[in-house]
């Protein structure tokens, strides 16, 4: 029986533009629905609408949302208050923002129980809290309850959020990307807990995510959202086997996988913003299968099979095409092994009195891409910051082209400063918000090469075009750009410095998968065209598979395993590497790896075999 | 002059100083502010040329009501109120403007340096600013004015220095927030000079809150300048001053309200105007566009 029922939900901005429209789905007790989409797809809006809430500037304009028999949209404020946290709970993306930093964990948990069950005695409340802490796999003693949120790790905070959500035994729960900030291993554990709790207590869950691989391992049904509409709705296995909407197919084509190296296909263009959505199908401009009529009329969400519906005129055709997964030869032609560009030996680094890195050593040859992999706190970012000269508290040997590197960037010669470049994780903070992006790119030109005026304008335009941005973008401010565009500008700023080595710190982690594919493609081109050497810091093994020639796995400040990507990921020697691989969500089943497993692409049917899924 | 004072604090002409001015003037509130502040400025600067009487001339009996030749009546001595209003604005306006400008320039620079340095220099500057802030400004000014004399430049200096920690604290807080951003690290990594990082990278991000603060400070400065004259430590009779006028004619408020209301109205309109301009610029810099 459906616990959550959404019929024709419509959310508008105050100026009448639709953020979300024609959204319908239902979730049964004990079932997990994966709500997948990229930024701007309206997935979070749909998620919070289930609790009768939308962010400021928007309003729920139509449709019905029924949770556990109560019409949420018709409910009064008092009824909603009773409903939220009791019948339906919410787990936000950032647990640190969801917990009150000034109150102890125990009090926050007790508050949620007492609000909904005021008659419960203190002992009963304590017993209930102890029980739920056990369920979310947190220690049940007093010690945890006495702590403040900042004294917990990210994973523990998220478990506390789960405890808050499950403490009143809700009938339904909305989880909004609750594992985005967590390490793969922690993520895997949290997901296990979610799966187990929903099954045991027959909770209907809506899991909002941008990560298809993660949803594949968790959900029973999947809803794919694009530009505020449901474009496809199917049973999980069916969606991954026969994606019937071109967008679902394109998304699957754009994500790298930990188990096999595959060709990533970039989705061209942007998702249209509210108000700029075309009259026809919102995806038509980016669609490989678009027909003239796609631009004229908007297709309806049509049933195309048992529990499978898609919003496409050609859904049956697209669904019948071979599975979209494309594989390609595992190892790239390795660049000729040169003398190392970057060599590190016996590097120890600390923050204050804490040792972060212990005796780190590696070499990096020209034209290769070394991925530094590890969980948060493993020291991978500290290592990259030592190398670029932003963290000065280290000793040991680090040399660039045989020349020892000074600790701080300021004491390095200009040639080293421009040949070693760094791209930061967060594209929203990496560009000065008060400078036009062209000015940000031009600044190093003037600084290193004395290039100014007209020539600088030309060079900036070239650099922007090199990263697939129009040169006209130079006059815009960063806030007028999307996250992916900003990251490209940051890369362009590094490129005008004519770098030999580019250090990339988690540069795709804040981006959508389709944008990630485009950035990875760009880096690979640069590597091949210019012989650029990459040091790629990431926690995402799928990205490693896509881009790196070599991997070094960091754990608690030590390199525990290093080697060529294919060898390390297919045949890991260290237990920790194996654990990381096992915990990474995957689209493919593990094990069946092999360099020659060429699976057909829709463009090359001749090469084909059957999909491994 | 007021707009110039604000424009001087804007980021270097990168995205275009003129564009910011144009964007600011696109806001209705800025235009209203310019009209209001401009009106009072015009009274203060050009007023003496249009005054029908000498500010010290006795033209009627004390507190005479409005009549022909003196539309606002006479004050406690029988001087023409309109003439004294026209004569009495220049000093309070320029002293408060210069004092505010001094505080913003000095405090902004100190705050930027302190926030960027984050070392012993920062601690030292913070202590110094806290010491200054510990004294109520008016008391501080009264103390030095009674010791050193009533020179308008001394008051300007004292009030400017008195407000410096207020601006400095704010600038330091905003700088600290900005300095952690990766675009600053990027500049460090490239090896840009520290002065460039301070004034080209950091300053533009600190300017908006400083502008808003400057609007408030100007208001407070006017209050202090007028207050000093009201307390008898500013302009001396028979010279005219808006603050002094409110003091002199306070007793006759019920018989001849114009003598108090007119100078107060001028001060109020000026501060409201300046605040509207500051707000308009703040919005223009942060990129809020007028919606119609």
pLDDT, tens only, A67-80 = 999 999 999 999 99
By Cβ distance, the residue of B15, B186, B204 closest to A424 is B186
- Mutate one of B187, B190, B281 to test the A interface: name it (highest A CB count within 10 A): B190
A299 contacts A282 by C-beta, under 8 angstroms: no
Residue A609 pLDDT greater than 80, yes or no: no
**In this structure, what CATH number is given to the domain that contains residue A510?**
3.40.50.300
User: What sections of B81-238 are H helices per DSSP?
Assistant: 81-87, 90-117, 120-134, 137-148, 152-179, 182-190, 194-196, 203-230
Residue A592 pLDDT greater than 50, yes or no: no
By Cβ distance, the residue of A389, A414, A434 closest to B189 is A389
A73 contacts A52 by C-beta, under 8 angstroms: yes
Q: Structure pTM?
A: 0.79
- Domain containing A550: what range? 340-431+498-593
By Cβ distance, the residue of B182, B188, B205 closest to A430 is B182
Residue A287 pLDDT greater than 80, yes or no: yes
Q: Is position A117 within any domain?
A: yes
- A457 at the B interface (CB within 8 A)? no
A427 contacts B183 by C-beta, under 8 angstroms: no
Q: Is position A85 within any domain?
A: no
Above pLDDT 70, what percent of chain B? Answer: 91
B159 contacts B99 by C-beta, under 8 angstroms: yes
User: What sections of A201-345 are H helices per DSSP?
Assistant: 212-216, 236-241, 246-254, 315-320
Residue B292 pLDDT greater than 50, yes or no: no
Residue B233 pLDDT greater than 50, yes or no: yes
- A432 at the B interface (CB within 8 A)? yes
Task: Say yes or no for a CB contact (<8 Å) between B189 and A390.
Answer: yes
- Please enumerate in sequence order all residues whose Cβ is within 8 A of that of A393, keeping only pairs 6 or more positions apart, or say none: A349, A350, A351, A407
Q: Is position A483 within any domain?
A: no
Q: How high is the pLDDT of residue A326?
A: 52
Mean pLDDT of B250-264: 88
Residue B239 pLDDT greater than 80, yes or no: yes
pLDDT band at A232 (very low <50, low <70, confident <90, very high): very high
- Please enumerate in sequence order all residues whose Cβ is within 8 A of that of B225, keeping only pairs 6 or more positions apart, or say none: B91, B92, B95, B96, B99, B155, B159, B234, B243
Provide the shortest C-alpha distance from residue B203 to chain A (in Å): 10
- Residue B129, both tokens: 């600013």
- A504 at the B interface (CB within 8 A)? no
Please provide residue A360's backbone torsions phi and psi, each rounded to the nearest 5 degrees.
Answer: -85, 135
Provide the shortest C-alpha distance from residue B1 to chain A (in Å): 25
Quick one: how far is CA A553 from the chain centroid? 20
A200 contacts A148 by C-beta, under 8 angstroms: no
- In 3D, which of B26, B23, B29 has the Cα closest to residue B278? B29
Q: Chains A and B: how many Cβ contacts under 8 Å? A: 63
pLDDT band at A270 (very low <50, low <70, confident <90, very high): confident
Q: Which of A168, A184, A208 is the last residue of a domain?
A: A168
- In 3D, which of A172, A162, A170 has the Cα closest to residue A47? A172
- Please name the residue of chain B whose CA is at the shortest distance from the CA of residue A415: B190
- Please name the residue of chain B whose CA is at the shortest distance from the CA of residue A448: B190
Lowest mean pLDDT among A95-109, A167-181, A432-446, B274-288: B274-288
pLDDT band at A332 (very low <50, low <70, confident <90, very high): low
Mean pLDDT of A139-144: 85
pLDDT band at A104 (very low <50, low <70, confident <90, very high): very high
* Contact map slice: A 391-430 vs B, CB within 8 A: 409-410, 412, 414, 417-418, 422, 424-426, 429-430
Q: Is position A553 within any domain?
A: yes
Q: How high is the pLDDT of residue A611?
A: 36
Lowest mean pLDDT among A307-311, A609-613, B29-33: A609-613
Give B74's DSSP letter. Answer: B
Which of A26-35, A528-537, B121-130, B195-204 shows the highest mean pLDDT? A26-35
* Contact map slice: B 169-228 vs A, CB within 8 A: 181-183, 185-192, 201, 204-205
Chain A residue numbers touching B14 (CB-CB < 8 A): 434-436, 439
Above pLDDT 90, what percent of chain B? Answer: 26
Q: How many CB atoms lie within 10 A of CB B90?
A: 19
A103: left (phi over 0), alpha (psi -120 to 50) or beta: beta
Task: Say yes or no for a CB contact (<8 Å) between B183 and A430.
Answer: yes
What is the residue-averaged pLDDT of chain B?
84
Q: How high is the pLDDT of residue A529?
A: 85
pLDDT band at A607 (very low <50, low <70, confident <90, very high): very low
Q: How high is the pLDDT of residue B8?
A: 37
Q: How high is the pLDDT of residue B34?
A: 93
Mean pLDDT of A164-175: 93
pLDDT band at B6 (very low <50, low <70, confident <90, very high): very low
Give A574's DSSP letter. Answer: S
pLDDT band at A331 (very low <50, low <70, confident <90, very high): low
pLDDT band at A600 (very low <50, low <70, confident <90, very high): very low
- Residue A57, both tokens: 């500037």
Please provide residue A61's backbone torsions phi and psi, each rounded to the nearest 5 degrees.
Answer: -100, -15
A167 contacts A161 by C-beta, under 8 angstroms: no
Q: Is position A213 within any domain?
A: no
Q: How high is the pLDDT of residue B90?
A: 86
**Tens-digit pLDDT profile for residues B45-77:** 998 888 888 888 888 888 888 888 788 888 888
- Residue A596, both tokens: 């020659």
Provide the shortest C-alpha distance from residue B209 to chain A (in Å): 14
Chain A residue numbers touching B191 (CB-CB < 8 A): 409-410, 412, 414, 417, 447
Mean pLDDT of B266-273: 90
- Residue A189, both tokens: 């554990």
Q: Is position A280 within any domain?
A: no
- B15 at the A interface (CB within 8 A)? yes
Residue A535 pLDDT greater than 90, yes or no: yes
Which of A269-278, A361-370, B71-80 shows the highest mean pLDDT? A361-370
Residue B13 pLDDT greater than 50, yes or no: no
Q: Is position A42 within any domain?
A: no
Q: How high is the pLDDT of residue A64?
A: 93
Q: How high is the pLDDT of residue A352?
A: 84
- In 3D, which of B8, B23, B5 has the Cα closest to residue B282? B23
pLDDT band at A447 (very low <50, low <70, confident <90, very high): very high
Q: How high is the pLDDT of residue A335?
A: 55
A171 contacts A197 by C-beta, under 8 angstroms: no
A597 contacts A226 by C-beta, under 8 angstroms: no
Q: How high is the pLDDT of residue A431?
A: 93
- Please name the residue of chain A whose CA is at the shortest distance from the CA of residue B11: A434
**Tens-digit pLDDT profile for residues A485-509:** 899 899 999 999 999 999 999 888 8
Q: How high is the pLDDT of residue A202?
A: 93
Mean pLDDT of A162-191: 89
- In 3D, which of A262, A180, A190 has the Cα closest to residue A613? A262
Half-sphere exposure of B239 (CA within 13 A, CB side): 14
Q: How far is CA A543 from CA A169, A218, A521, A523, A572, in A?
A: 38, 21, 11, 12, 17
- Please name the residue of chain B whose CA is at the shortest distance from the CA of residue A442: B14
Task: Say yes or no for a CB contact (<8 Å) between A424 and B192.
Answer: no
Residue A604 pLDDT greater than 50, yes or no: no
Q: Would you call the peptide bond into A448 cis, given omega within 30 degrees of 0 as the criterion?
A: no
**Tens-digit pLDDT profile for residues A196-214:** 999 999 999 999 998 888 8
pLDDT band at B108 (very low <50, low <70, confident <90, very high): very high
For β-strands A172-176 and A88-91, DSSP reports them as parallel
The total number of structural domains that make up chain A: 2
Which of A107-111, A594-598, B228-232 shows the highest mean pLDDT? A107-111
Q: How high is the pLDDT of residue B286?
A: 62
The strand pairing partners of B58, in sequence order, are B79
Q: Is position A539 within any domain?
A: yes
End-to-end CA distance of chain B: 30
Mean pLDDT of A427-449: 91
Residue A480 pLDDT greater than 90, yes or no: no
**Tens-digit pLDDT profile for residues A21-66:** 999 999 999 999 999 988 888 898 999 999 999 888 889 999 999 9
Q: How high is the pLDDT of residue A426?
A: 87
Mean pLDDT of A185-201: 90
What is the residue-averaged pLDDT of chain A?
87
Q: How far is CA A163 from CA A30, A92, A137, A145, A439, in A?
A: 17, 13, 9, 12, 48
Locus of tokens 């369920």: A135
Q: How high is the pLDDT of residue A590?
A: 44
Chain B residue numbers touching A432 (CB-CB < 8 A): 183, 201, 204-205
């Amino acid at each position: 029986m459906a616990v959550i029922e959404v019929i024709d939900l419509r959310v508008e901005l105050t100026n009448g533009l639709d953020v979300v429209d024609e959204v319908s789905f239902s979730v049964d007790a004990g079932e997990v629905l994966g709500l997948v989409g990229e930024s701007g797809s309206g997935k979070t809006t749909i998620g919070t609408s289930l609790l009768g809430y939308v962010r400021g500037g928007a309003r729920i304009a139509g449709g019905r949302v029924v949770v556990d028999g109560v019409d949420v949209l018709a409910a009064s404020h008092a009824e909603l208050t009773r409903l939220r946290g009791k019948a339906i709970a919410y787990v936000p993306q950032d647990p640190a923002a969801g917990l009150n930093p000034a109150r102890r964990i125990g009090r926050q948990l007790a508050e949620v129980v007492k609000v909904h069950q005021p008659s419960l005695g203190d002992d009963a409340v304590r017993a209930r809290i102890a029980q739920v802490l056990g369920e979310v796999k947190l220690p049940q003693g007093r010690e945890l309850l006495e702590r403040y949120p900042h004294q917990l790790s990210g994973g523990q905070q998220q478990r506390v959020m789960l405890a808050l959500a499950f403490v009143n035994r809700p009938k339904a729960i909305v989880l909004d990307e609750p594992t985005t900030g967590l390490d793969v291993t922690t993520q895997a554990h949290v997901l296990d807990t979610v799966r187990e709790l929903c099954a045991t207590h027959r909770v209907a869950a809506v899991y909002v995510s941008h990560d298809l691989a993660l949803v594949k391992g968790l959900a029973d049904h999947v809803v794919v959202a694009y530009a505020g509409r449901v474009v496809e709705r199917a049973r999980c296995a069916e969606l991954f086997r026969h994606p019937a909407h071109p967008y679902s197919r394109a998304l699957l084509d754009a994500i790298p996988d930990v188990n096999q190296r595959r060709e990533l296909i970039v989705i061209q263009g942007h998702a249209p913003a509210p108000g700029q959505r075309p009259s026809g199908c919102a995806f038509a401009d980016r669609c490989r299968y678009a027909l003239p009529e796609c631009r004229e009329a908007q297709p309806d969400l049509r049933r195309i099979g048992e529990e499978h519906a898609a919003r496409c005129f050609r859904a049956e055709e697209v669904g019948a095409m071979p599975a979209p997964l494309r594989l390609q030869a595992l190892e790239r032609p390795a660049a000729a092994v040169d003398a190392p560009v970057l060599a590190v030996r016996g590097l120890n680094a600390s923050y204050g009195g804490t040792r972060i890195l212990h005796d780190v050593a590696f070499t990096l040859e020209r034209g290769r891409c070394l991925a530094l992999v590890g969980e948060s706190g493993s020291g991978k970012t500290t290592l990259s910051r030592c190398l670029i000269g932003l963290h000065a508290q280290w000793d040991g040997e680090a040399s660039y082209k045989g020349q020892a590197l000074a600790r701080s960037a300021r004491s390095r010669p200009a040639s080293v400063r421009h040949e070693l470049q760094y791209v930061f994780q967060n594209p929203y903070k990496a560009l000065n918000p008060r400078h036009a992006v062209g000015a940000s790119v031009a600044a190093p030109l003037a600084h290193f090469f004395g290039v100014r005026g007209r020539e600088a304008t030309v060079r900036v335009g070239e650099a922007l075009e090199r990263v697939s941005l129009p040169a006209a973008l130079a006059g815009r401010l960063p806030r007028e750009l999307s996250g992916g565009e900003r990251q490209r500008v940051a890369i362009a700023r590094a490129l005008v410095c004519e770098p030999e080595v580019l250090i990339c710190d988690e540069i795709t982690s804040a981006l959508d998968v389709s944008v990630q594919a485009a950035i990875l493609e760009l880096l690979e081109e640069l590597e091949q065209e210019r012989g650029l050497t990459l040091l790629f810091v990431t926690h995402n093994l799928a990205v490693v598979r896509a881009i790196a020639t070599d991997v070094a796995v960091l754990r608690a400040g030590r390199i525990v395993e290093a080697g060529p990507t294919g060898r390390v990921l297919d045949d890991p020697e260290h237990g920790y590497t194996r654990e990381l691989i096992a915990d990474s969500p995957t689209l493919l089943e593990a094990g069946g790896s092999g360099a020659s497993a060429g699976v057909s692409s829709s463009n090359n049917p001749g090469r084909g075999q059957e999909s491994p899924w | 002059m007021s707009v110039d004072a604000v424009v001087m604090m804007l980021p270097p002409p990168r995205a275009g100083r003129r564009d910011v001015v144009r964007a600011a003037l696109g806001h209705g509130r800025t235009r209203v502010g310019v009209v209001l502040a401009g009106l009072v400025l015009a009274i203060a600067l050009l007023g003496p040329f249009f005054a029908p009487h000498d500010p010290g001339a006795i033209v009627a009996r004390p507190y005479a009501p409005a009549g022909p030749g003196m539309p606002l009546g006479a004050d406690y001595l029988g001087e023409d109120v309109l003439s004294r209003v026209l004569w009495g604005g220049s000093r309070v306006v320029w002293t408060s403007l210069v004092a505010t400008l001094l505080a913003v320039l000095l405090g902004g620079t100190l705050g930027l340096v302190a926030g960027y340095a984050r070392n012993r220099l920062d601690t030292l500057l913070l202590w110094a600013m806290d010491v200054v802030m510990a004294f109520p400004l008016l008391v501080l000014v009264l103390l030095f004015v009674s010791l050193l004399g009533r020179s308008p430049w001394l008051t300007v200096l004292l009030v400017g220095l008195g407000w410096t920690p207020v601006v400095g604290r704010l600038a330091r807080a905003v700088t600290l927030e900005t300095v952690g951003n990766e675009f600053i690290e990027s500049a460090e990594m490239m090896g840009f000079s520290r002065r460039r990082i301070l004034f080209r990278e950091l300053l533009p991000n600190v300017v908006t809150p400083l502008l808003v603060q400057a609007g408030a400070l100007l208001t407070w400065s006017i209050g202090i300048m007028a207050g000093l004259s009201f307390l008898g430590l500013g302009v001396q009779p028979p010279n005219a001053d808006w603050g002094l006028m409110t003091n002199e004619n306070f007793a006759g408020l019920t018989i001849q309200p114009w003598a108090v209301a007119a100078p107060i109205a001028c001060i109020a309109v000026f501060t409201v105007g300046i605040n509207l301009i500051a707000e308009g610029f703040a919005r223009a810099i942060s990129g809020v566009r007028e919606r119609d």
